[in-house]
Amino acid sequence: MRWLNCALGNSMWLAAVIWNENYQQHHQKDYTKKKRKMASPEKKRKMAPKVFNDPIHGNIELHPLLVKIVDTPQFQRLRFIKQLGGVYFVYPGASHNRFEHCIGVCHLAGRFVRALKENQPELNITPEDELCVEIAALCHDLGHGPFSHLFDMKIIPEAWEKRKKNGKWTHEQGSIDMFDHMLKVNAGLAREFNDIKFTETDITFIKELINGPKKHERKGRTEEKWFLYEIVSNDRNKIDVDKWDYFARDCHMLGIGNNFNHNRLISFSRVISVKGIDGKFEQQICYRDKEATNLYDMFHIRNLLHQRAYQHKTSNSVEIMLAEALVLADEFIKFEGEDGKLVCMSDTVKDMKAYTLLNDGVIHKIIESDREELKKSKEILNRILRRDLYRCVGEKRFAGGTFGKEVSLNRC
């Protein structure tokens, strides 16, 4: 065989369990004791998982620890952040949020790592490896702000420039900060992590999967398991489960046809020792040669989504107006942070307690306000609601590198 290197069980059952309050309270104590005795990921998986009904992947079954993460205010916040930002003002179907996307990515990451484990036992993928990859996939977008990429690509840079504040912030760094905050303020969740017997190295590995460091800086796993870094966010060739979910989900919600089949890639993937750019051999995820056309379709659908939706001239106009309104309101919209301190919007990224309160609903705070300082922002937002949008007077394509300062338009 040639491989491409790219830079219901056996029985079905139905059970109905009727719970009543007395029964649940009577057995809660014993259940909690039994639950805490389960120390390893393998034992934890024997507990009743939770099933999510997803329009893209069908029934998604999550490990109990993953359910604990989902049931935190920090993760539930993602219900109120649109996946595609201003695109929703153009495509009525683009109403999906970061919440369901993260659950979908977690599902695909789990399927992918288990497929590799089953097909190649010699890789020695442990239950801890598997669960770390799933946690990273679930938490990879915890750091997104209002209207997703608009916040870290446009709102934060312009707000900080206006305030003459230096520095650069990305939602990946925000995801790591929010992950740390989530473990700190949710005692029950921290206890679950301890019961699993996660080490500091495992926690480091999860963070590295979210915002990957350079190869020589990796500390979470040794070289023979570096292929695991390619599952959630693949810096080597951009083929990862994050994109697989949002390609499928965005196409479904936008009504755009999608020929790319991520299920085949999972089935026809293998880890192979490949000579890297530096001349050294390393373990990389590869795909069967017959999947070349499928991979072409993947990059084609990415380009198509950018043309038809992500860079649609009207959605770009909406996002320019949203960014302008929020930057004008930045210093006048406050959120309660650590020690009760009030923090302005662009500073919430440094205070996760305050950042937990920030989502797309910030525009309603402005619209409902009668404060004079927010009058200009309110006018801009009301123009969006009346569809009195900035007009596109023309467009021209330039070669890459034409301008000294360019903003990346990649969405992930």
User: Residues with Cβ < 8 Å from 272, sequence gap 6 or more?
Assistant: 3, 5, 283, 284, 286
Q: Give the residues across from 281 on adjacent strands.
A: 275
Question: Which of 235, 228, 180 shows the shortest CA–CA distance to 212?
Answer: 235
**Cβ-contact 253, 271 below 8 angstroms:** no
The catalytic residue among 101, 171, 262, 312 is 171
CA distance linking residue 343 with residue 355, whole number of Å: 9
CA distance linking residue 155 with residue 121, whole number of Å: 47
For 101, the token pair is: 């996307």
CA distance linking residue 181 with residue 176, whole number of Å: 9
Helix, strand, coil share (%) of the chain residues, nearest 5 = 60, 10, 35
**Catalytic site includes residue 216:** no
Catalytic residues: 171
